[in-house]
Amino acid sequence: MTHSNPFVAMLFRDLRIAFRQRAEIMLPVIFFVVVVSLFPLAISPDPTVLKSIGPGVIWIAALLSILLSLQSLFRSDFNDGSMEQILLSPFPGSLLMLARIIAQWCVTGLPLIIISPLLGLLLHLDAHVIWVLFISLLLGVPYLNMVGAIGVALTIGLRQAGALLSLLVLPLYVPVLIFGSNAVISAANHLPYNGQLLWLAALLVIATTLSPFVISSALRVSCSYR
Amino acid sequence: MSVKDKVWLWFHRMASPAYFYNLAGQLLPWSIVATTTLMLIGLIGGLVFAPADYQQGDGFRIIYVHVPSAWMSMFVYMVMAVNSAIFLIWHIKLSDIVARSSAVIGASFTFLALITGSIWGKPMWGTWWVWDARLTSELLLLFLYLGYIGLRSAIDDRRVAGKAGSILALVGAINIPIIHYSVVWWNTLHQSASVSKFDNPSIELNMLIPLLSMALAFKLFYLCILLINSRSELLEQEKRSQWVKELVTSS
């Protein structure tokens, strides 16, 4: 590793590890597409129905696939003991964890955001609505990664981590779900949607500044448990 | 001794398990008596003396359980978050015990508020449930409580459970206002606001006094449960210490 900056070094290390397991990267995206394509089958293929439920369906599917991908966030480092080394290193653990989350977002959140316009087309959303959907996911999905990481840091090493993780994290996802899907619905009804997008941006700023500290202290607690 | 020193002395004394155990034991009978008295005043005043509502008839009387428990659901989370912060900063075990005991009580109050609201809603609104802002944020609050309880019970080590739970409680405390206002905002956008029973501040005095009395009784009931719980928790946690051994051998 030639990078002198530990933040950059951590980011590139995590990205390199992720890209060597390509199948694992693809799974959340495939899950996202499959979940969205189940809704027309279950509810109705009628374009007017799909238009009205589309924003909510895409947002919930994005939320669930992020939740699914979170499980592996700290697992390998936690299992092989690298996590203790990272937390014991002289560099601030919160910054290193932020690098980890950004890397995680690059491999799970970003592909999902990139593919979302396609799903918007499948659900008959208009072009300008798809654009708002794209922006809202771009602002909202990193928040899901950050807040989700708090839940992962608290539950890692527990026996039934998966079910507990969703109970801890899903109520905290509610504001982003409301603002995200509402921005898209407002755009579809030709109403102003700037307010919702600004709210999403504000939540993202709060999460980026506060959650790294929470995550590193939660990981310290979880590591002390073993 | 300055005021600041006195406050710190009080703080340190409260942190001592033996001192708190005795203090809680002395306070408990008084708070039980006060709870029972206030609850009787509230129930009799509310169910017998308060006049029937001109629109809702006698159906409104569930307010005497519903509103105090809804108030308590928020209050208890606040107590939990403050005690979690104290535990994380000063490592006072007593605060952790208070936070843990509060979670179950708070979840029960939240559940009670939801159930009584649902029972009240059926005759008044015609449905068991509406996606009203208050109901929805109360439901989400219940989920937050359940998550806290779930996390604590999943961790065997008590000290670790305390720390993890405290972090979660603080994250929840930061998020509660955001969740609440996003839900209010969502609701005003989706549907017209339901007729609020409390928009009109001029509630008759005969109705108000029992309500306030019940609210106080619920707070004191919470205090009773908290004192009983923390006494037994303290005994278990400190079972190897000298003062517990003396307590057991002397009795």
Among all residues of chain B, which has the CA nearest to that of A179?
Answer: B182
Q: Is residue B127 part of a domain?
A: yes
CA distance linking residue A51 with residue A40, whole number of Å = 11
- B167–A210 CB contact, under 8 Å: no
How far off is chain A from B207, nearest CA to CA, in Å? 36
pLDDT at residue A71, rounded to an integer: 85
Contact B164, A218 (CB under 8 A): yes
Q: What's the pLDDT band for A5 if we cut at 50, 70, 90?
A: confident
A13 — alpha (psi -120 to 50), left (phi > 0) or beta? Answer: alpha
pLDDT at residue B124, rounded to an integer: 80
Please list every residue in chain A whose beta carbon sits closer than 8 Å to the beta carbon of residue B150: 164, 167-168
Please give the residue that has the higher pLDDT: either B90 or A204. A204
Q: Which of A67, A174, A182 should one mutate to test binding to chain B, selecting the residue with the greatest count of B CBs within 10 A? A: A174
Does any CB of chain B come closer than 8 Å to the CB of residue A217?
yes
Q: Is residue B178 part of a domain?
A: yes
CA distance linking residue B66 with residue B109, whole number of Å = 9
- Count of domains in chain B? 1
Q: Is residue B198 part of a domain?
A: no
Q: Is residue B216 part of a domain?
A: yes
Report the greatest alpha carbon distance in chain A. Answer: 58
Angstrom CA distances, B49 to A146, B37, B61, B208, stand at 54, 16, 11, 11
Among all residues of chain A, which has the CA nearest to that of B146?
Answer: A167
Q: Is residue B82 part of a domain?
A: yes
Tokens of A175: 């504001």
How many other CB atoms sit within 10 Å of the CB of residue A172? 27
| pLDDT (tens digit per residue) in B8-66 | 888 777 778 888 888 888 999 999 999 999 999 988 888 888 777 767 777 778 888 89
Angstrom CA distances, A60 to A39, A54, A106, A108, B185, stand at 11, 10, 20, 15, 19
Q: Tell me which residue of A97, A103, A106, A102 sits closest to A29, measured CA to CA.
A: A106
Q: Is residue B10 part of a domain?
A: no
Q: Is residue B199 part of a domain?
A: no
Q: Which of B146, B155, B187, B188 should one mutate to test binding to chain A, selecting the residue with the greatest count of A CBs within 10 A? A: B155
Percent of all residues in chain B with a pLDDT value above 70, rounded to a whole number: 92
Does any CB of chain B come closer than 8 Å to the CB of residue A210?
yes
- B183–A168 CB contact, under 8 Å: no
Determine the structural domain holding residue B113 and report its residue range.
18-193+205-250
One pLDDT digit (tens) per residue for chain B, 251 residues: 688 888 888 877 777 888 888 888 899 999 999 999 999 998 888 888 877 776 777 777 888 889 899 999 999 999 999 999 999 998 888 889 999 999 999 999 999 999 998 888 888 878 888 888 888 889 999 999 999 999 999 998 888 999 999 999 999 999 999 988 888 888 766 544 444 445 555 566 777 888 889 999 999 999 999 999 988 888 888 888 888 888 888 87
Please list every residue in chain B whose beta carbon sits closer than 8 Å to the beta carbon of residue A150: 167, 171
Q: Which of A146, A178, A185, A215 should one mutate to test binding to chain B, selecting the residue with the greatest count of B CBs within 10 A? A: A178
Cα B32 to its chain centre, rounded Å, is 16
Q: Is residue B13 part of a domain?
A: no
| pLDDT (tens digit per residue) in A16-72 | 988 888 777 888 899 999 999 999 999 988 999 998 899 999 999 999 999 999 988
Contact B238, B35 (CB under 8 A): no
